[in-house]
Amino acid sequence: MTATMQSVPALIDGREIWSTDAGMMSRSDPSTGRPLADVVVAGQTEVDLAVAVGRTTFDRGAWSNVAPAERGAALLRLADLVERDAPLLAAIDSAEAGKPIRECLEGDVGAALEALRWFAGAADKLYGATSVTVSSEVGMTFREPMGVVAAIMPWNYPMAQAAWKIGPALAAGNSLILKPSEWTPGSALHIAALAIEAGIPAGAISVLPGTGAVTGSALARHDGISAISFTGSVGTGREILKAAAGSNFKRVSLEMGGKSPQVLMQDALTFGDRLIDHMIDSAFMTMGENCTAGSRVLVHESIADEVTSRFVDRARSLVVGDASDQSTDIGPLITEGAARRVRGLVERAKAEGAELLLGDEDVSQRGPNFVAPTVLRLERQDHEIQRTEVFGPVVTISTFSSENEAVALANDTDFGLAASLWTRDINRAMRMARAIEAGVISINSYSEGGMSAPFGGYKQSGFGGKERGMDAFEQWTQTKTVWLQLHGDGSA
Ligand code: NAD
């Protein structure tokens, strides 16, 4: 497979499937609009087949009953193969998602490797427990795999997302079906092929590309799937939950969108350029098409002018360009429709009185998917742009005058994925970290935390489970209690 692949098949039991009753969809390069690949849409037949193959593999114990340390060793081999093919995987993600190639190489590859290696190490540490009992009883718990499980994924971090799902799902012994986004199937497919090369049984990992309406919903409805781990938008999360309720009550974990604040207290500027660097990353990494994007800057009024001017100056220097160009900071958005939507949100915010500080540069000559880095100043919190996940390179700046007001503004959203908080006052930092309603709070940095730290949202950003850390296994394992009653008194 190359980064300019012509077709993307499904992969079931190690076999590539090049045509289905559900047809094909065409994919074009978000930077150039040039045709990139035709992608197979896996339909009900392929979903049924992948579930059946996964079930047989599971029941035979070909992966589920392999010694956990050996499963870990296979995942380590997979990580080595991913490292070997990192330039290719980065090129695939960059071409399909329009992500700047530098970000794919410097960020996403490392994130994928970290996940695979961390969960490889965790494979033989899934301990059960013993209960508190009298001496004539023994209560014990086992953490067992769920069976056939599915991961439904978004397009913004394709290879990293695949690794975050593959790592814990396979470490625990499940048979996994990956459903990559219709826009970005290439890296998941390549990683699954590498998994088989690494010695993971072909029946334990399938890849079903396709649309949400056909492939995703067939997985969500399927009675043979025991758990679905979904990452994507709130609306789709709701549909998957309904489908699970209408079928076999499969376990559902949802990682969804965000509207995360960056909160800057009075002393935040003492962090100097480090603050501005992190603010830029938080707002504009992956063009703001990032679930934890710090899209709402909330800044203490005493430093607002200086922060705004330094931030806007830096944002102005970001290089907008083709995703394959090493110097690009801001590539295209995923589709023309997405770019149109983002521009519409900005226009309506301006019409409602928001002040445009940056963003009137005309980048349309680059192509219809490009949106310039945009900064808006606004004080009212009822603007549509302040309440909606923009998923583009757009950030708003609002001011506050007290800690309590900052917390109230931070929490004034239906989302609760992440927040970053800048202050050197440890009492204030801990008070605010506890008061802000979000699943991940980074203090004096923009960070989602390391692989050992659980990741997932509060409120409408998350439901039913976390990713990363040992908490991730809650999605992919079930606990069985075995209760043993001892008989006899030892007299014989
Ligand atoms: P999306 O919800 O449109 O699609 C996600 C996946 O769901 C795709 O594979 C899609 O084909 C599938 N899908 C769509 N409709 C479906 C249905 N009815 N049944 C089953 N599957 C269906 O999201 P997207 O546009 O790919 O990704 C962007 C969203 O993902 C943003 O909201 C972003 O915040 C979120 N996201 C969240 C995290 C996180 O960890 N919280 C990480 C990355 C992205």
Judged against a pLDDT cut of 90, whether residue 198 lies above it is answered with yes
Dist. CA 189 → ligand 1 center (Å): 18
- Residue 487's CB is within 10 A of a number of other CB atoms, namely 5
Instruction: Give per-residue pLDDT as tens, 220-269.
Output: 999 999 999 999 999 999 999 999 999 999 999 999 999 999 999 999 99
The pLDDT, as a whole number, for residue 472 is: 98
The pLDDT, as a whole number, for residue 267 is: 98
Beta pairing partners, 467? 455
Dist. CA 338 → ligand 1 center (Å): 14
Nearest CA to ligand 1 atom 37: 256
Of ligand 1's listed atoms, the one at least distance from the Cα of 417 is 41
User: Would you say how long the chain is, in residues?
Assistant: 492
Over the chain, what HEC string results? CCCCCCEECEEECCEEECCCCCCEEEEECCCCCCEEEEEECCCHHHHHHHHHHHHHHHHHCCCCCCCHHHHHHHHHHHHHHHHHCHHHHHHHHHHHHCCCHHHHHHHHHHHHHHHHHHHHHHCCCCCCCECCCCCCEEEEEEEEECCEEEEECCCCCHHHHHHHHHHHHHHCCCEEEEECCCCCCHHHHHHHHHHHHCCCCHHHEEECCCCHHHHHHHHHHCCCCCEEEEECCHHHHHHHHHHHHHCCCCEEEEECCCCCEEEECCCHHHHCHHHHHHHHHHHHHHHHCCCCCCCEEEEECCCHHHHHHHHHHHHHCCCECCCCCCCCCECCCCCHHHHHHHHHHHHHHHHCCCEEEECCCCCHHHCCCCCCCEEEECCCCCCHHHHCCCCCCEEEEEEECCHHHHHHHHCCCCEECEEEEECCCHHHHHHHHHHCCCCEEEECCCCCCCCCCCECCEECCEECCCECCHHHHHHHEEEEEEEEECCCCCCC
Q: Which residues of 293-323 are buried (b: 16+ CB within 10 A; e: fewer)?
A: bbbbbbbbeebbeebbebbbebbeebebbbb
Instruction: Give per-residue pLDDT as tens, 335-365.
Output: 999 999 999 999 999 999 999 999 999 998 9
The pLDDT, as a whole number, for residue 409 is: 98
Give mean pLDDT, residues 216-220.
98
Dist. CA 483 → ligand 1 center (Å): 41
The CATH number of domain 261-443, selected from 3.40.50.300, 3.40.309.10, 3.30.830.10, 3.40.50.1100:
3.40.309.10
Give mean pLDDT, residues 383-404.
98
Judged against a pLDDT cut of 50, whether residue 3 lies above it is answered with no
Distance CA 260, CA 297 (A): 9
For a ligand 1 pocket test, name from 178, 231, 389 the mutation site with the most ligand atoms within 8 angstroms of its C-beta. Answer: 231
Q: Would you state the structure tokens that stand for residue 195, as one six-digit string?
A: 């998994």
Instruction: Give per-residue pLDDT as tens, 177-187.
Output: 999 999 999 99
Dist. CA 65 → ligand 1 center (Å): 32
Of ligand 1's listed atoms, the one at least distance from the Cα of 220 is 20
Of ligand 1's listed atoms, the one at least distance from the Cα of 157 is 43
Distance CA 87, CA 34 (A): 21
Instruction: Give per-residue pLDDT as tens, 31-73.
Output: 999 999 999 999 999 999 999 999 999 999 999 999 999 999 9
The pLDDT, as a whole number, for residue 7 is: 83
6-256+461-480 and 261-443: identical CATH topology: no
Judged against a pLDDT cut of 50, whether residue 1 lies above it is answered with no
Give residues with Cβ within 8 angstroms of 102, minimum separation 6.
Answer: 326, 328
Which residues are annotated as catalytic? 255, 291
What Cα–Cα distance (Å) separates residue 336 from each residue in 30, 32, 112, 253, 284?
8, 11, 28, 30, 18
The residue ranges of every structural domain in the chain are: 6-256+461-480, 261-443
Residues having CB within 6 Å of any atom of ligand 1? 152-156, 179, 181-182, 211-212, 216-217, 220, 231-233, 236, 239-240, 255-258, 291, 389, 391, 417, 457
The pLDDT, as a whole number, for residue 5 is: 57
Instruction: Give per-residue pLDDT as tens, 62-81.
Output: 999 999 999 999 999 999 99
What is the reported pTM? 0.97
Nearest CA to ligand 1 atom 12: 212
Q: Does domain 6-256+461-480 sit in CATH 3.40.605.10?
A: yes
Give mean pLDDT, residues 407-421.
98
The pLDDT, as a whole number, for residue 492 is: 85
The pLDDT, as a whole number, for residue 343 is: 97
In this prediction, what percent of the chain has a pLDDT beyond 70? 99
Give mean pLDDT, residues 310-330.
98
Nearest CA to ligand 1 atom 11: 212
Dist. CA 318 → ligand 1 center (Å): 27
Dist. CA 322 → ligand 1 center (Å): 24
For a ligand 1 pocket test, name from 25, 161, 181, 229 the mutation site with the most ligand atoms within 8 angstroms of its C-beta. Answer: 181
Nearest CA to ligand 1 atom 42: 291
The pLDDT, as a whole number, for residue 237 is: 98
